[in-house]
Structure 1
Amino acid sequence: MSTVNILIADDHPIFLKGLKEVVEAGNHLQVIYQATNGQDAIAGVTTKSVDVVILDIDMPVKNGLQAAVEILQLKPEMPVILLTMHKAKDAFLKALDIGVMGYVLKENAVVDIMYAIEAVLRGHSYISPEMTSFLLAQKRSRQPAMDNIATLLTSSEIKILKMVGEYKSTKEIADELYISEKTVSNHRMNITKKLQLTGKNSLLRFAIEWKQ
């Protein structure tokens, strides 16, 4: 397996050093650029051969969300992981909207960051389990005007849409329904087409807002 080049950005030197040590403990992972603000992170992406970007949300000059917007405009397929100390739904939904693939709470970063890197390299999203629990507790109770969903989707697709809205991964859905990950991926693709959704995280965002 070839080396995976990682860019990390955080304005706290001690955390940045610890994050580098954690990341480089993984096989074939190498931190090739360290930034202390969002603008510096953008510069790193444009000058280095980076495979994964890890950004703290709270940084000076440009914060992690602002940096992620510009990075994904430059390189739309770049896997971006955001780190945060705060369980905030608005910031999470904003991250989804701009195409961020990983969302990790800093309190769990030592464990979660490796799972996040592994997931985004496979093209999957990753959310810290504690963040998932918080979001489920905060899930909106209102019913959006989407009454025709049942006429657009099959019963299997509706079941999978609900599970996506519970922040379950493709593998978790496959294991729970005793089907292959490929079958789940095909269902997800069909749902996305039927609902005319576009964008990297459009299905997850829709599933979060939709309540059956």
Structure 2
Amino acid sequence: MEIRLLIADDHPIFLKGLKEVIEMDADLKVIVSAKNGQEALLSFQLHSVDVVVLDIDMPRMTGLEAAEKMLQIQPDLPIIILTMHKEKAPFLKALEIGVLGYVLKENAVSDIVHAIYKARDGDLYLSPEISAYLLKKTSALQRQSKNDLKALLTPSETHIMKMISEYKSSKEIADELFISEKTVSNHRMNIAKKLNLTGKNSLLRFALDQSWV
């Protein structure tokens, strides 16, 4: 089944190379390329696409700004952000918006196709280098005092939150704990309710913000 893509980057050579890498997979088809965020948003409104890939730093409208507007129109749209930055703040902003992929541009050749399939299936994908960096930054904060909200959770819920902070999917958590995905989903819903969290990726954002241990 063909997956139709919109890609956007303000560097023509990178944009051309990205298209070539993506279309090396016979099931992936780039139907429109855009040179800035504003053009990407307009193209999205004019074409039917399955996955969107946006550079984070673009003129006229950033990738995050374009992503936010696209998701207001189509909340379940799989969007992948390409970035040269490993900082925590833009990553957390991307999660808050509802972005499903966060790929380091220097690793786009090796990561982008896998990210597209993960996002298409509704799963979060991060370049391994970004995951390792963020986990290291989180570990550096682990000696800080725990947030009182953490005391509301059971040991099982605490363990699941730690696994969420390690970017593990519900399926990976279920497999590791020998429980069903449905049970993991129930735990996630209970945790979110206890912590008064709403929105996409809210548990992961909370886990990273609070340096979960």
Q: Report the counterpart of residue 191 of structure 2 in structure 1.
A: 191
Partner of 1:127: 126
Q: Which portions of structure 1, spanning 4 or more consecutive aligned residues, are displaced by more than 4 angstroms?
A: none
Q: Secondary structure at the match of 2:123?
A: coil
83-92 or 30-39: bigger deviation: 83-92
Please, which runs of 5 or more residues in structure 1 have no aligned partner? none
Q: Contact 1:39–1:67 at 8 Å: present in 2 too?
A: yes
Aligned partners of 1:192 and 1:122: how far apart in 2?
22
Task: Give the TM-score of the pair, scaled to structure 1.
Answer: 0.90
Give the residue type in structure 1 aligned to 2:207. Answer: A
Matches within 5 A, 1:163-182: 163-182=163-182
The match for 1:143 is: 145
Contact 2:81–2:102 (CA under 8 A) maintained in structure 1: yes
Q: CA deviation at 1:162?
A: 0.7
Partner of 2:60: 61
Residues 187 and 27 of structure 1, relative CA distance in 2, 3 Å threshold: farther
Q: Is the 8 A contact 2:149 2:195 kept in 1?
A: no
1:192: Cα distance to partner? 2.1
Judged with a 3 Å threshold, the aligned counterparts in structure 2 of structure 1 residues 117 and 143 are, in CA distance, closer, same or farther, namely: farther
Name the CA distance, whole Å, in 1 between partners of 2:112 and 2:181: 23
Q: Please, which runs of 5 or more residues in structure 2 have no aligned partner? A: none
RMSD over aligned Cα atoms: 1.8
Of 86-95 and 43-52, more deviation after overlay is shown by: 86-95
Paired residues of 1:166 and 1:208 also in contact (CA < 8 A): no
CA distance in 2 between partners of 1:126 and 1:43 (Å) = 26
Separation in 2 of the partners of 1:117 and 1:185? 23
CA deviation after TM superposition for structure 1 residue 135, in Å: 0.7
State the Cα deviation string for residues 84-116 of structure 1 (Å, max 9, x = none).
Answer: 112111111111121111100011111211221
Secondary structure in 2 matching 1:11: coil
Q: Larger deviation: 66-75 or 34-43?
A: 66-75
| Counterpart in the other structure of 1:50 | 49
Partner of 1:88: 87
Cα distance, 1:184 vs. partner? 2.7
Partner of 1:207: 207
Instruction: Give me the identity figure in percent.
Output: 61
Is the CA contact 2:80–2:102 (under 8 Å) kept in the aligned structure 1?
yes
TM-score by length of 2: 0.89
Distance 2:24 2:178 in 1: 34
Q: For 1:116, what is the secondary structure of its paired residue?
A: helix
- The 2-side partners of 1:61 and 1:5 are apart by 25
Letter in 1 for 2:162: K
Distance 1:81 1:6 in 2: 11
Q: 1:5 is paired with a residue of what secondary structure?
A: strand
Hey, what's the Cα distance between the residues in 2 that align with 1:130 and 1:179?
29
The number of residue pairs the alignment matches comes to 209
Deviation of 1:27 after TM superposition, in Å, equals 4.1
Distance 1:192 1:21 in 2: 41
**Bigger Cα displacement from structure 2, 65-74 vs 46-55:** 65-74
- TM-aligned CA distance change 1:185 to 1:28, over 3 Å: farther
Offset, 1:26 = 2.3
